[in-house]
């Protein structure tokens, strides 16, 4: 028989459970006392009703059973209290951890803010120093330009007209010679550049032709190796293939097989063909598990994912 309780306003589950347990204990003790009192009295004969209904005999409550029930209630109360204490301790631990994390986050934010302010101060100092340095450099440049202008003006004023004419003639003659020399140098450079370009073109053409010939030979070699291993794979499928001439003769199946470098079959998928042949071909490949593959990287590159057309031979 269960005990149904409700939570009064302002009562916690722990308080409500304690109240309910106390009430239940009092009721059980009262019931036990009443039964014991009745057990001491002399039973009175009960008259049988006229309609011959059966008489229900009263059962005497066993004191030891009542004591066990009381002890059981006490144990349940203690267990409930232990669980509640454990839950409260867990909540307190979580609250402490949360408070600790909040404090750590606050300390981290405070440090970041201090670091930001420090960098701002350093930046302002650096900007001020840069401005002062630029102002000093500008002043020095202005002074240098002024002195340079004054020097040029003094040299120009001191120049003699005759010396100026002679210098101009000498400069013109020198300039003409330099011009002719530059033209000759330009023609020589252009000729050498054209010869180098032609040589490079011929060399590149020769290299491309040689590379093309080598690539064609290599491609043919790879193709031959691929065909050889395709034949070996077909033989492996044939060995594991269960044939039925009545249903498979003249039929075929196209398979797509993905292989690992070791030859391990990663997947096998029928593309098209007879359904029965395709089913048995897939079984044959999976039964083999590992198919023959080349150790040559170029050859395996062509075989890592291959399409096979398998036709049973009878």
Mind listing the pLDDT tens digit for each residue in 172-203?
888 888 888 988 888 888 888 888 888 888 88
Q: Which residues contact 304 (CB under 8 A, 6 or more apart)?
A: 258, 259, 261
Identify whether 239 is part of a domain: yes
Q: Indicate whether 262 pLDDT > 70.
A: yes
For residues 233 and 167, which has the higher predicted lDDT (pLDDT)? Answer: 233
End-to-end CA gap in the chain: 81
Contact in structure between 245 and 314 (CB atoms under 8 Å): yes
Q: Which residues contact 242 (CB under 8 A, 6 or more apart)?
A: 280, 283, 284
Identify whether 242 is part of a domain: yes
* pLDDT (tens digit per residue) in 44-78: 443 444 444 444 343 445 788 888 888 888 888 88
Identify whether 131 is part of a domain: no
Beta bridge partners of 269: 256
According to the model, what pLDDT value does residue 60 have? 46
Residue the block writes with tokens 């002679």: 166
Taking residue 259's Cβ as centre, other Cβ atoms within 10 Å add up to 22
Identify whether 248 is part of a domain: yes
According to the model, what pLDDT value does residue 281 have? 93
According to the model, what pLDDT value does residue 276 have? 93
Identify whether 46 is part of a domain: no
Report how many domains make up the chain.
1
Give the 3-state secondary structure of residue 218. helix
Identify whether 40 is part of a domain: no
**What is the mean pLDDT of the segment spanning 108-124?**
88
* pLDDT (tens digit per residue) in 127-158: 888 888 888 888 888 888 888 888 888 777 77
Identify whether 167 is part of a domain: no
What is the domain range of residue 234?
Answer: 225-310
Q: How large a percentage of the chain has pLDDT more than 90? A: 15
- CATH value at residue 271: 3.30.1150.10
Identify whether 272 is part of a domain: yes
According to the model, what pLDDT value does residue 283 have? 93
Tell me the C-alpha distance between 265 and 305, whole Å.
Answer: 10
């Amino acid at each position: 028989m269960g005990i149904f309780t409700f939570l009064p306003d302002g009562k916690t589950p722990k308080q409500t459970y304690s109240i309910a347990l106390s009430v239940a204990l009092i009721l059980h003790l009262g019931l036990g006392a009443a039964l014991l009192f009745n057990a001491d009295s002399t039973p009175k004969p009960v008259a049988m009703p006229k309609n011959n209904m059966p008489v229900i005999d009263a059962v005497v409550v066993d004191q030891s059973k009542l004591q066990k029930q009381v002890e059981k209630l006490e144990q349940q109360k203690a267990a409930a209290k232990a669980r509640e204490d454990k839950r409260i301790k867990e909540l307190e631990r979580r609250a402490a951890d949360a408070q600790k994390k909040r404090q750590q986050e606050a300390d981290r934010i405070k440090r970041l803010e201090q670091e930001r302010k420090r960098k701002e101060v350093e930046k302002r100092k650096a900007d001020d120093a840069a401005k002062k340095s630029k102002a000093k450099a500008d002043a020095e440049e202005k002074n240098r330009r002024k002195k340079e202008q004054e020097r040029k003006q003094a040299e120009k004023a001191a120049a003699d007209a005759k010396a100026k004419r002679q210098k101009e003639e000498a400069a013109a003659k020198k300039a003409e010679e330099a011009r002719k020399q530059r033209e000759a140098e330009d023609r020589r450079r252009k000729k050498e550049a054209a010869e180098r370009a032609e040589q490079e073109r011929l060399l590149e053409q020769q290299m491309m032709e040689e590379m093309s010939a080598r690539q064609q030979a290599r491609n043919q070699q790879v193709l031959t190796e691929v065909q050889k291993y395709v034949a070996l794979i077909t033989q492996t499928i044939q060995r594991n293939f269960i044939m039925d001439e009545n249903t498979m003769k003249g039929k075929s199946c196209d398979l797509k097989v993905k292989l690992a470098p070791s030859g391990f079959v990663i997947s096998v998928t029928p593309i098209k063909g007879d359904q029965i042949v395709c089913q048995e071909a897939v079984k044959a490949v999976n039964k083999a598990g590992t198919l023959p593959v080349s150790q040559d990287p170029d050859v395996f590159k062509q075989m890592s994912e291959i399409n096979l057309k398998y036709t049973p031979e009878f």
